[in-house]
Structure 1
Amino acid sequence: RDDIHPGDRVPWDAIGVAHDRAWNDVTVGELLAHTSGMPVNRKSWLDEPGTCDVPLTAALATPPTPARGTWVYSNGNYCALGLLVQHTSGMPLDKAANDLVFEPASVAGPYLSTEGVRASSAPYAKGVARLERLGGAGTWLASSDDIAAMLAAVTVADLETLRWPGIIVDQYGWGHTGTIDGAKACAWVLDERSTVLVAMVSGQRPRTGGEVCDMLLPALATDLGVWAGDPVRNPL
């Protein structure tokens, strides 16, 4: 819709998030690239009741960290982007995602964890209610097929915005990993965008989503005849 641009400053007041004034010149692109200086505070994004604006407000109470300008992953960046999309579109998170992302990609399966689990959902011992505070950073539940379809729908034009270091790259292609206690994921596009790999684990091993990629990418690359050693991801 061309409503939001990477160079735009984040309108914190408009999206209703109190903040230190040092955040006033942080841009949408910095949130996308995880270079905004957002504190990490991993534990603040899970388990407690409430929406993601609660831990986000706490994160913005002080100026960006000295790491601003350097890639440091924080759920706060995606939480803020989700709130910005809701504000700009005038739609709640689920409708905005369906109208702007899922339906154009012909994907119908993802749903918010706040709706509870469905019969098709994998078991998760800690319960999906703990994901509510993630907001745009991880409140969605989706199948491997859903994620593969979304990655396959990414265009060259999309990659002008969705680019390193907001997405991770290696010698095989690009993608993302996911790690929370009890669930790990690897989603990767390789072989010059002709092959998509998505793998999920409901459990404690491997330890990280990156380790899931480490196990599967070389094996798939070997089958495709494009093996180039163990994955070397950037950023890690």
Structure 2
Amino acid sequence: MPRARTPRTLLVIPVSLTLLAMVQGGLPGPAPVAARTPARTPAARTTRAALARLVTRGGAPAAALLADDGSGTRFADTGTGIGRSDHFRAGSVTKSFVATVVLQLAAEHRLSLSDPVDDHLPGLVRGAGNDGRDITVRSLLQHTSGLYDFTSTTGGTVPVTPLQALRIALAHPPSARGTFAYSNTNYVVLGMIIEHVTGHSYATEAERRIIIPLHLNGTSFPGARASLPEPHGRAYAADGSDVTELDPRVAGAAGELVSTLADLNRFYAALLGGRLLPPRRLREMLGTRAAHGSYGMGLFPVRLPCGTTVWGHNGRIAGSYVRSAATVDGRRVLTFRVNTGGVTDPTLEPALLAAEFCPRTS
């Protein structure tokens, strides 16, 4: 986890609430940057221009966004490479789904956030100073457990089982417990706890509790399936190589999800709108005190220059970067994505969020 105040996504930790710079060169040539959707308002034109810069300045092969302000949806893309209904890998956005399931189980009194991990996985978390008797479910959700991030060793490119990921983590001493340190291992362990409590995998529980009720027909947990559902575009690594085929076990419960722009907007609107959690549990999810304002439980806030705070998550995995953000009431939501692991200019993400959530009137 970086020393900055934002969380790391699946493969590499951002140093701020922006996209991490990545190596240029070798990517397919930039697509045309004029969005297909007409920009009928100054706000829409500003957002479209910010999206286009992900290609012209950020080095992404293609970019697209879907915004919903309650009165309707607005799609924009950079002209080619990404379709409105395309499926893509959502990386660490998976954490919002896993955290929602855990908080639902807490609301049902099937577990407590203050439970030690050992209550559910007895004796499993031991080694190099790590001790599951001293790590709580809450600390896993908030990234304050101290558990080492297994993807720092695997690079997020090696398929592993949950037990293998945990063993990698337990070969390393913990960071200071109680201090925010983003670690994909935390959510792998939460996936294991969900299975212990319910008798079903985290994927099955998320499908039953979230995907089916919200009719997220383009969202899935692919397990070991390396191909994407149709329709989908291509995904590219920093050197331009095609990485569309990928074993999702490089991420597991920390970043396995496949989704669409519309589905992610629907999910975050429902979550923040109070349709998935009781008010008390949603307030807990938005609590950032333990992480000193950086992270809640499967969500993190960003305060924009206009004073608006948006909530959501980002996701980075080979060939895909996605960012979902919404107002705290879920009434306005945006998801954008590029078909590579990031963009080269770290100012572009906050500029796009500000363009959408702090629109100019003229």
Scaled by the length of structure 2, the TM-score of the pair is 0.55
Give the corresponding residue for 2:285.
162
From 133, 140, 143, the counterpart of 2:260: 143
1:208-227 correspondence runs (5 A): 213-223=349-359
Q: Which has the higher contact order (CA 8 A, sep 6+)?
A: 2
Does structure 1 residue 8 correspond to structure 2 residue 115?
yes
Q: CA RMSD in A?
A: 2.7
Shift of 1:7: 0.9
Give the partner amino acid of 1:50: V
Q: Deviations over 1:17-43 (max 9, x none)?
A: 452362321001001001110213434
Shift of 1:62: 4.5
Structure 1: 5+ residue runs without aligned partners?
226-236
Q: Secondary structure at the match of 2:336?
A: strand
1:59-78 correspondence runs (5 A): 59-66=169-176, 68-78=177-187
Aligned residues: 223
Q: Which moved more, 1:100-109 or 1:170-179?
A: 100-109
From 186, 190, 200, the counterpart of 2:337: 200
Scaled by the length of structure 1, the TM-score of the pair is 0.81
Q: Which moved more, 1:11-20 or 1:186-195?
A: 11-20
Does structure 1 residue 26 correspond to structure 2 residue 135?
yes
Give the corresponding residue for 1:178.
315
Give the partner amino acid of 1:55: A
Whether the 8 Å CA contact 2:255–2:315 is kept in 1: the answer is no
Q: Which moved more, 1:182-191 or 1:144-153?
A: 182-191
Structure 2: 5+ residue runs without aligned partners?
1-104, 236-241, 289-294, 304-308
More helix by share: 1
1:13-162 correspondence runs (5 A): 14=121, 17=124, 19-20=126-127, 22-40=131-149, 41-44=151-154, 46-66=156-176, 68-113=177-222, 114-115=224-225, 116-124=227-235, 125-154=242-271, 155=274, 156-162=279-285
CA distance in 2, matches of 1:78, 1:51: 13
Shift of 1:53: 2.3
Give the partner amino acid of 1:95: T
Whether the 8 Å CA contact 1:190–1:196 is kept in 2: the answer is yes
Whether the 8 Å CA contact 1:19–1:61 is kept in 2: the answer is no
CA distance in 1, matches of 2:356, 2:111: 37
Give the corresponding residue for 1:230.
none
Percent of aligned pairs with the same residue? 25
Whether the 8 Å CA contact 1:6–1:161 is kept in 2: the answer is no
Shift of 1:118: 1.4
